[in-house]
Structure 1
Amino acid sequence: MHAIIEIGYLIATLSFLGGLKFMSSPKRAKTGNLIAALGMVLAVILTFFAGTTETVPYTNLIIMVLAITVGTLLGKRLSDKVQMTGMPQLVSLFNATGGGCAMLLGLMEANQIKTEITHFGNQVLLIAGLTTGAIALTGSIIAERKLAGTVKDKRGRAVIFSARILLALLLLLPTLYFLGFIPLDFMAFMYILAIIAMVYGVLFVLPIGGADMPVVISLLNSITGIATAFAGFVYGNKAMIAGGIFVGAAGILLTLLMCRAMNRSLLKVLAGTFKNNKTGQIEEDQQIKEISIPEAALTLSFVQKVAIVPGYGLAVAQAQHICAQLQQLLEKRNVSIDYIIHPVAGRMPGHMNVLLAEANVDYACLKEMEESNENMKQYDAVLVLGANDVVNPAAESNPNSPIYGMPIIRTHKAKQVIVVKRSMNKGYAGVQNELFGMDNCSILFGDAKTTLQDIVNQLKLL
C-alpha cells in the first residue's frame, strides 16, 4: 500500500513538472494549468488515502474535507467575481493563504511535539516554515492592498527601514533559543516568532513602490513555496516537498528575470528606490504634437504594418476588448497587427498576456520584445496604450537617466508613433519620456477605452 502511495506522489510530481513546461507557452498555458491541477488533486486524494490507512482520527479527516469544500467554494466565487484588472490582487490574496497555512501548520505541530524527544532538525524546519509562511502571509496582504490603491507608498521612510533592520535581527532569535538564552517553552517561543515574522512581512513590503509589486508578488510566491517545502519535510510528504521546491525556484527565477528587465537589482527594488539622477541632468520643455481621433484613424487604416504596445493604462481602462475589435477592423483592411509586450508591463507577470487572451487575441500576434526591436523599422505605425518608462529612449541614450540600461521597446525607431495618454504625467521612474518630443511621435490624449472606441467608430465611417 505504501508503494502505491509513493508511486502516486511521483506521478503528481511529474504532473507539476509537465504543467510548468506547458505554461512556458501562452498557447499551452491553459493545458499546463489543468495538468498541474490534476496532479494536485491526485496528491490530495493520496494524502487522504494515507490518512485512512494510518492512525489519523476520522474526525480530523472530516474537518479536512469540510475545509477543502469551503475553500473550493470560496475560491470559485472569488475567481468568478474578479475582473481581469483585479487578477493581481487575487493572486496576492491566494498567496497569502498559502503563507498563512504554512504558519498555522508550524503552530499546530509545535503544540504537539515534545522538545526533549523531537529531533533538532524537525524543530528547525518548523521554525523555518512558520517564519517564511508568516512573512508571506502579511507581505502578500500588504501587496494586495497596494495594488488596490488603499495602502500608499512609503518609500524612503527612515523609520520603516530602521524597524525592518531591527525585526530582521529579531528573526535570528532561534539561534539564542537553541543556545538556551531564552527561557521559554517551544510553543510560547513559536507564537512570539510568528508575531515578529508577521510584523516584518508588513514592513518588508510597505516601503516598496506600487509599480514594483509584480516583483514583490513573485518573490513572496517563492517564499510561500519554500515554506511549503519546509512543511513537506516535517510531514515527510514528497508531493509537498516537490511542489514547494518548484514554486520556490520558479518564483525566484521570475523575480530575477523581471529585475533584469528593469535593469535594477533585487536589493534596489526591495529598498523601493531608483538610481539617483546624476548631476547635470536637465529636463527640457518638450514640443509635443497632438493628434486627433480622425487623424489617428486615417493613419492606422492606410498603413501595412502596425504594432500595439499595451501598458497598465490599457488594464486600468479595461480596453482589451475594444483593442481586439480595433485589430479586427484593421485586419479587414489588410493591415498586419503585432502586439509587443514588455516583460514588466502591467501589475503582475503576464498581466498583459492574460488581458489579451481574455479578448481572444491570437497568440500568434504576440511578439517578443527582442524580436520586435530588431524589426522595429518595418512598422509603419506603433500604437502605445498607457505605457511610459518601457518605451523611453532615455534608457539607451541618456547615461544620466535613472532608467539608463533598462531594456525597452524601441518604438522610437518606427516610422510613426501614436501614444494614447490621459495626461503628460511621468511614469513610475519619475523621468521625462524623450519619445514624446520626437518628430515621429504624436500624442492622443484620453482614456484608452474611450479613445480606442472613438477610433473604431471613425474607422467604420471610412
Structure 2
Amino acid sequence: MSELQAVLYIASFGMFIYGLMGLTGPRTAVRGNWIAAAGMVVAVVATLITPGLQDGWLIGLGIAAGVVLGVPAARRVKMTAMPQMVALFNGVGGGAVALTAWVEFRESGGFAGEPAYVTVASLFAAIVGSVSFWGSLIAFGKLQELLPGRPVTLGRAQIPVNVVLVLAAVGCAVAIGTGVRAEVLVVGVLVFAALAGVAVVLPIGGADMPVVVSLLNAFTGLSAAAAGLALDNTAMIVAGMIVGASGSILTDQMAKAMNRSIPSIVAGGFGGGALATAETGAGGGSVRATSAADVAIQLAYADQVIVVPGYGMAVAQAQHTVQDMAKLLEGKRVEVNYAIHPVAGRMPGHMNVLLAEADVPYDRLKDMDEINEQFARTDVALVIGANDVTNPAARSDPGSPIYGMPVLNVDQARTVIVLKRSMRAGFAGIDNPLYADPRTAMLFGDAKSSVGEIIEELKAL
C-alpha cells in the first residue's frame, strides 16, 4: 500500500506541474486547471490510503463541506470579484495550516519527543499560516470595499507595532521550542501572528493590493510546505513549494512592474478614493466631453487603434462588446491592438482573462513593454476604465505617489478617448492629468453601454 501511495503522489506532482504549465496561456489555461485539480484528487486519494490512518471519515466530511461551500461560490462569482475570491480562498488555506500546527502541538503533547525539525516546521507553519489567513481577510475586505481602500495606519508607530507583534509570535514559538509545554504559548503564537497579519495589510493602500494578494499566496504555499515537512506528507511539501515559488516569482515581477520594492509595499502603500469634479481634471485643467458619434468617426477613419482596458471594463462586463467593436473596426481595415499593463485590474492577468473570455485573439494582447513605443504612431488610444496605469504623472511628477511606476504611454497617441463613469480617482486615489490633456476627450457613462452606442454609430457610417 505504501508503494501505491508513493506512485500516486508522484503522479499527482506531475499533474500539478503540467497543469501549472498550462496556465501560461489562455488557450491551455482551462485544461491546465482541470489537470491540476485532478492531481489534487489523486493526492487526496493517496493520503486516504495511508496505512494506519484513523478517522478518515473526518477527511471525507471536510472534503464534502469544501465542495458544498466552494463549488457554488466559484461558479457564481463574477470576474470583477475574482481578486477578492482568490484572496479569500488563499487565506482559508493559510488558516487550515495554522490550525493543523495547533492540532499537532496538542497531539504530540507540546512536541515532546518530536525531532527538532518537526517542532520548527510546525511553529513556522503556525506563524506564516496565521499571518496569511488574517492578512488575506483584510485584503478581501479592501477589495470587496467592506474596508477602506486607503491606508489605515498608526503613523510612525506602525512599523514598531508590526515588529513587536512579529517578535511576540516568534518569542512564544522559541519558548515552545525550548521545551515549555503550555498551550497558552501556541495560542499566543497564533494570536500575535494574526494581529501581525492585520497590522501589516491594513496600512497597504488599494493600489498595492494585487501585489499583496500574490505575496500572501506565496506565504500560504510556504506554510503548507512546512506543515507537510512536519507531518511527513510529501504531497503538501511539493504542492506548497510550487505555490510558494510561483507566488514569490509573481510578487517580484509585479513589484518590478510598479517600480517599487516589496519592503516599501509592505511598509505601507497608497490608496483612497479621491473625487474630482466632472469639469476639472488634475491641477484644475478643463476636461472635454465627447459623444459616441464623434468617437465612432475618429475610430472608423483611424489606421491604428489601441484599446487600453482597466477595472472599469471588468465592472461593466464590457469585454464582449469591446470585441464586437474591434471586429467592426477590423472590417473597416483598422488595426486594433490591446495594451495590457501588468497590474491593470485587481489581480495579475485580470485583463488577459477577461479578453480571452471574449475570444480576443491572444496575439492582439500586447504587454506594456511591447506596446509602449507604438502609442506615438497611434491614431486613437481608447482607454476603457483604466486610470492609474495610464497616469503620466508617474513619469513627470516627482511629487506623485506613483512617480517612477512604469505606465502605458497613452498620452503620446494623437487622440485619446477615455470611457469612464465619472471623474472619480482610480484605486490609488490620485488625480490623472491625462484627462485634462488637450488631446483627450471623455465619454462618460457605463463602459458597456458607451461601447454599444459606439457600435451603433459605426454601423451607421
TM-score, normalization: structure 1?
0.91
Change (3 A) 1:77 1:273: closer
Report the alpha carbon displacement of residue 184 of structure 1 after superposing the two structures with TM: 5.0
Q: CA deviation at 1:350?
A: 1.1
The 3-state SS of whatever aligns with 1:426 is coil
Question: In the alignment, what sits opposite 2:9?
Answer: 9
Q: Determine if contact 2:19/2:33 at 8 Å carries over to the other structure.
A: yes
1:212 has 2:208 as partner: yes
Does residue 250 of structure 1 match 2:249?
no
Are the equivalent residues in 1 in contact too, given 2:165–2:192 (CA < 8 A)?
yes
State which drifts further: 141-150 or 297-306. 297-306
Deviation at 1:285, TM superposition (A): 3.2
Tell which deviates more after alignment, 320-329 or 229-238. 320-329
Query: 2:125: which partner in 1?
Result: 129
- Looking at structure 1, the residues matched to 376 and 299 of structure 2 have their Cα atoms a distance apart, in angstroms, of 16
Q: Quote the offset at 1:141 in angstroms.
A: 1.2
Matches of 1:87 and 1:400, distance apart in 2 = 33
1:112: which partner in 2?
107
**1:162 Cα deviation (Å)?**
4.5
C-alpha contact (below 8 Å) 2:309/2:351 kept by paired residues: yes
Instruction: Give per-residue Cα distances to partners, 1:155-201, cap 9 Å, x unaligned.
Output: 34336545323212212214651575xx9525332122112212222
For residues 420-460 of structure 1, the C-alpha deviation after alignment (integer angstroms, 9 at most, x for no partner) is 12333433445443433334322222232222222123223
Q: Per-residue deviation at 1:234?
A: 1.1
Q: Distance in 2 between matches of 1:127 and 1:273?
A: 29
- Return 5+ residue gaps in structure 2 as ranges: 272-281
Residues 282-324 of structure 1: per-residue CA shift (max 9 Å, x gap)? x743243332221001111222321110111212222223222
CA distance, structure 1, for counterparts of residue 261 and residue 201 of structure 2: 16
1:40 — aligned with what?
A: 40
Normalising by structure 2, we get a TM-score of: 0.91
Verify: 1:67 aligned to 2:62, yes or no. yes
- Give the 3-state SS of the residue equivalent to 1:172 in structure 2: helix
Gap change, CA 1:404 and 1:42, over 3 Å in 2? same
Q: Which whole-Å deviations, capped at 9, do the CAs of 1:111-132 have from their partners, x for residues lacking one?
A: 1104431222211111111111
2:96 corresponds to: 101
Aligned pair 1:171/2:169, yes or no?
A: yes
1:237-316 matched pairs, under 5 angstroms:
237-273=233-269, 284-316=283-315
Instruction: Name 2:411's counterpart in structure 1.
Output: 412
Q: Structure 1 residues 156, 63: CA separation in 2 closer, same or farther (over 3 Å shift)?
A: closer
Alignment partner of 1:77 is 2:72: yes
Q: CA deviation at 1:342?
A: 0.4
In the TM superposition, residue 56 of structure 1 has moved relative to its aligned partner by 1.6
Query: How far apart, CA to CA, are the structure 2 residues paired with 1:399 and 1:197?
Result: 36
- Specify the code of the residue in structure 2 equivalent to 1:92: A
Residues 268 and 274, structure 1, Cα contact 8 Å, conserved in 2: no
In 1: Cα distance, 2:70 partner to 2:266 partner: 30
Distance in 2 (alpha carbons) for counterparts of 1:358 and 1:24: 15
What is the SS of the residue equivalent to 2:407?
Answer: coil
Is the alpha carbon distance of 1:193 and 1:32 closer, same or farther for their aligned partners in structure 2, counting shifts above 3 Å?
same
CA-to-partner distance for each residue in 1:217-250, whole Å, 9 max, x for gaps?
Answer: 1011101001110111012122211110111111
Q: How does 1:162-201 map to 2 (within 5 A)?
A: 162-174=160-172, 176-178=174-176, 184-201=180-197
**CA deviation after TM superposition for structure 1 residue 15, in Å:** 2.1
Structure 1 CA distance for aligned equivalents of residues 93 and 337 of structure 2: 38
Q: CA deviation at 1:72?
A: 1.5
Residues 2 and 56 of structure 1: is their aligned pair in 2 closer, same or farther, counting only changes over 3 Å?
Answer: closer
Q: Displacement of 1:401 after TM fit?
A: 3.5
- After superposing the two structures, state which structure 1 stretch, 299-308 or 418-427, moved more: 418-427
* Alpha-carbon shift at residue 107 of structure 1 (Å): 1.3
Which stretch has the larger CA shift, 228-237 or 426-435? 426-435
The AA in structure 1 aligned to 2:171 is: L
Take 2:344 and 2:329, find their aligned partners in 1: how far apart are those partners?
24
Contact between 1:9 and 1:239, CA under 8 Å: does it hold in 2? yes
Q: Which residue of 1 aligns with 2:279?
A: none
The letter of the residue matching 1:33 is N
**Map of 1:157 onto structure 2:** 154
Equivalent pairs counted in the alignment come to: 448
Could you tell me whether the CA contact under 8 Å between 2:204 and 2:267 is conserved in 1? yes
2:61 is aligned with what amino acid? L
Q: Percent identity?
A: 41
In structure 1, how many angstroms separate the alpha carbons of the residues matched to 2:123 and 2:182? 10
Q: Counterpart in 2 of 1:320?
A: 319
Distance 2:79 2:210 in 1: 15
Moved more, 357-366 or 397-406: 397-406
| Among candidates 33, 56, 61, match of residue 53 of structure 2 | 56
Query: Aligned-pair distance for 1:375?
Result: 2.4
Is the contact between residue 110 and residue 186 of structure 1 (CA under 8 Å) also seen in structure 2? no
Secondary structure in structure 2 of the residue aligned to 1:349? coil
Is residue 99–residue 126 contact of structure 2 (8 Å, CA) maintained in 1?
Answer: yes
Q: Is the 8 A contact 1:126 1:230 kept in 2?
A: yes
Unmatched tracts of structure 1, length 5 or more: 276-282
Cα distance in 2, alignment partners of residues 111 and 14 from structure 1 = 34
Q: Check the 8 A contact 1:288/1:436 in 2, yes or no.
A: yes
Distance 1:401 1:99 in 2: 35
**RMSD of aligned alpha carbons:** 2.2
Q: Aligned residue for 2:25?
A: 25
Q: Which residue matches 2:275?
A: none
Matches within 5 A, 1:343-422: 343-422=342-421
SS at match of 2:423: coil
Residue type matched to 2:354 in 1? L
User: Are the equivalent residues in 1 in contact too, given 2:270–2:429 (CA < 8 A)?
Assistant: no
Where 1:306 maps in the other structure, the secondary structure is strand
Q: Contact 2:228 / 2:237 at 8 angstroms: preserved in 1?
A: yes
In structure 2, C-alpha distance between the alignment counterparts of 1:138 and 1:179, rounded to whole Å = 24
Report the CA distance shift for 1:444/1:205 in structure 2 as closer, same or farther (over 3 A): same
Work out whether residues 155 and 272 of structure 1, in 8 Å CA contact, stay in contact via their aligned partners in 2.
no
Does the CA contact (< 8 Å) of 2:206 and 2:270 recur in 1? no
Q: Which residue of 1 aligns with 2:277?
A: none
Q: Provide Cα deviations, 1:39-61, integer angstroms capped at 9, x if missing partner.
A: 21211111112x2xx2122xx11
Match of residue 91 from structure 1: 86
The match for 2:136 is 140
